[in-house]
Amino acid sequence: MTTARPTVLLVDDEKANLRLLSDFLRQDTGIILAQNGNQAVEKAIALQPDLILLDILMPGMDGFDTLRTLKSIPSTQDIPIIFITGLDNPEKEQEGLRLGAQDYIHKPFNIDVVKARIATQLEIVRQRRVLQELSQDLSRASEAKSRFLANMSHEIRTPLTSIIGYAEALLADEFKGDEKQAVQAICVSGKHLLALLNDVLDLSKIEAGKMEITLLPVNFPALIDEVQTLVEDSARKKQLAFAIQLSDALPNQILTDPVRLKQILVNLLSNAIKFTKQGKVSLEVGADAEQLYFKVKDTGPGIDKKRQAELFAPFTQGDSSITREFGGTGLGLSISAQLASKLSGRISLESEPGAGSCFTLFIQLKQVEQTIVNVEPQEHKDMLRGKILLAEDSTESRQLLTRMLQSQGLEVKAVENGQQLMEAAMAEEFDLIFTDINMPVMDGLQALKLLRAVGVGTPIVALTANVMSEDIQTYLQTGFSDHLSKPIDRQKFARLLQQYLPGISSPKELVMPNDEMRQLMAQFVRGLPAHLRAIQQAYQQNNVSQLEQLAHKLRGTAALFQFKQISEMARQLENHLPIEKLPLALDELRSEVEKLIANTDSLPTD
């Protein structure tokens, strides 16, 4: 906010008056002097004072004429003016106020009155500027919100189109005998959406204008396959030829941010498909010693040189007719260019009107060292070896995680609260510990602090449904070795096991037999009515702590079993809805549970 010392322009043809006012006002304000109307106008334009004290009776241009002139000039018309005069003429005062003066000060001066009236006007000026700055901040925030919403709309549309397209094709039996391909495409698009929505949750990063890049070892051919899956359906619907050409020199593993790289490539390819009415869209991928390149070519309308320079600015498209014909926000290329820079790369453009376009993404080639094992979960005969301690208060979650770990050949000891975790960790040696955060008796944070205090150095991973960046940072700063969010990302789970259980071959895919999964899911669903009754009782007894604990438990377990609607409703209860909304929220949760039970009647009963 504005804190600069205010300045006052004193205008009077009598030097004694100027000297007197200057002496009294100099301590609190900056002083500018003028002895006639012409000087006053020149200095007001040049120096932009916060307030003008203007004498009325002056030779040449008098006070009224000076006031009229200042009010006619845009840069000075809003500067407040106080007349100083020895006249006692109500009609003249009315005229001055009508012309735009804020106040009158009469001679001879009463300095306390002069200071009070000046202070009042300067405070009004200060408050007006504060409001202007707040208005500008709100405008910038509104623009940022609009850009963010448009950005997300642009980014979400492509995978949603793929999901809906494949789902409609499945409903129409267009994949007879090959339904797995459609399901895989839906799965890939769904994961892409989840990755984007994770950024929405990271509010602190968005508000700070930061875009973090997470470099991971990535199976490069698999990434290209996923990109193809995301866009080829759009090309097919427009009857465009679509091809991907891969050079022979491509690495199998690279170090990059897979979400951001896919985001850029999908943006470029989606634009090419959208703006190409007929012909072909292609992606050519190659590499040299230092960089990867991705050439997206199309047979679209092309772009003239003048518009090419503007194309990477936000909300810009080739011309207004393109916006009318194809829609879109014009954010895609701007987003892609910024992400390319984050990946130590850039995007270039070659295009001529009527000759199509070629957008080329260059990114720095960071190959994975040979010592880094492919972390993509694959089937292997080798299993992990190690002893795991798991603390989870939800019976169903504990059983599910235990069986997932046992499927890797790991020995698992499972406990249900932080106290039992403490006792087990101090009595036996474990290679890795997974613990939920919110548990009865003793929570995961308390257990961690006590274990670290007594010298237990075993890696401990926080297992929780909290995915906000502030929560994760708190866990890591407290002493957790890592964090795993619910629902479980099986690839990250595999990477964590491999990271903390070194020297063993890559884990096989973290899966369990369908019948076991269905048994655990049925057990969870059958327990939902009792859990719901406990939540209702906690509400009726106004036991906020118990309500929060029960909702947290339901949230995490539902997330593990992919019951996302129930998990989200439990999250809202855990975060303390306004008290007047709790009955409705409980009714909605009960209704959702009833629907789930009705839809899972075919699950095994024992």
Q: Please name which of 358, 367, 364 lies closest in space to residue 346, comparing C-alpha atoms.
A: 364
Q: Which of 196-210, 243-257, 388-402 has the lowest average pLDDT? A: 196-210
Structural domains in the chain (count): 4
Domain contains 399: yes
End residue of a domain, out of 509, 532, 550: 509
The reported pLDDT for the residue numbered 602 is 46
319 pLDDT higher than 80:
no
Domain closes at, from 344, 370, 396:
370
φ/ψ bin of 239: left (φ > 0), alpha (ψ from -120 to 50), beta (otherwise): left
Contact 217, 256 (CB under 8 A): no
- 359 and 218 in a single domain? The answer is yes
The CATH code of the domain that includes 548 is 1.20.120.160
- Eight-state DSSP code of residue 580: G
Residue 54's contacts (CB-CB under 8 Å, 6 or more residues apart) are 11, 40, 63, 66, 67, 81, 82, 83, 84, 101
> What is this structure's pTM?
0.38
Q: Which strands form 81-85's sheet, in the order they lie side by side?
A: 30-34, 7-11, 51-55, 81-85, 103-106
Cα 587 → chain centroid: 31
Same-domain check for residues 87 and 201: no
Asked, for residue 375, whether it belongs to a domain, the answer is: no
Whether 281 has a pLDDT exceeding 90, the answer reads yes
**What is the strand order of the sheet 432-436 is part of?**
411-415, 387-391, 432-436, 460-464, 482-485
Per-residue pLDDT tens digits for 358-373: 999 999 887 655 433 3
According to the model, what pLDDT value does residue 268 have? 92
Give the pLDDT confidence score for residue 467 in this predicted structure.
Answer: 57
Closest by alpha carbon to 54, among 80, 74, 78, 28? 80
pLDDT of amino acid 299: 92
Is the pLDDT confidence value at 296 over 90?
yes
Average pLDDT value for the chain: 79
pLDDT of residue 383: 58
Same domain, yes or no: 265 and 333: yes
Closest CA to 394 of 298, 499, 304, 464: 464
Whether residue 500 is predicted with pLDDT greater than 50 in this model: the reply is yes
- Report whether pLDDT(150) > 80: no
Task: Report pLDDT for 52.
Answer: 93
Q: Using a pLDDT cut of 90, give the percent of the chain over it.
A: 16
Name the residue range of residue 356's domain.
Answer: 156-370
Q: Are residues 404 and 531 in the same domain?
A: no
Q: Is residue 220 part of a domain?
A: yes
pLDDT in tens, 208-256: 556 667 788 888 888 888 888 888 888 888 888 888 888 877 888 888 8
Mean pLDDT in residue range 463-491: 76
* 135 inside domain: no
392 and 466, same domain (yes or no): yes
Task: Say whether both 352 and 445 belong to one domain.
Answer: no
Domain boundary among 322, 340, 370: 370
Q: Flag whether pLDDT at 301 surpasses 50.
A: yes
Tokens of 442: 């003793």
Which range has the worst mean pLDDT, 116-120, 358-362, 504-508, 524-528?
504-508
Residue 567: the pLDDT is 80
Report, as an integer, the average pLDDT of 177-188: 82
Q: Which of 358-367, 480-489, 503-512, 538-547 has the highest mean pLDDT?
A: 358-367
φ, ψ at 291 (rounded to 5°)? -150, 155
Same structural domain, 256 and 361 = yes
Pick the closest to residue 405 from 319, 463, 473, 471 (CA basis): 463
Residue 533 lies in a domain: yes
CATH number, domain of 266, equals: 3.30.565.10
Tens of pLDDT, residue by residue over 536-558, are 888 888 777 788 778 877 877 78
Answer yes or no: is 188 within a domain: yes
In a domain, 129, yes or no: no
**581 in any annotated domain:** yes
- Residues 401, 436, single domain; the answer is yes
The enclosing domain of 391 has a CATH number of 3.40.50.2300
Beta bridge partners of 361: 294, 347
How confident is the model at residue 516, as a pLDDT?
62
Q: Do 495 and 562 belong together in one domain?
A: no
* pLDDT tens column, 327-338: 343 456 777 787
Higher pLDDT, 25 or 472: 25
Specify the pLDDT at position 21: 85
Q: What is the C-alpha to C-alpha distance for residues 550 and 561, in angstroms, rounded to an integer?
A: 17
The mean-pLDDT minimum among 45-49, 70-74, 227-231 falls in 227-231
Predicted local confidence at residue 524, as pLDDT: 77
pLDDT category at 321 given cuts 50, 70, 90 is very low
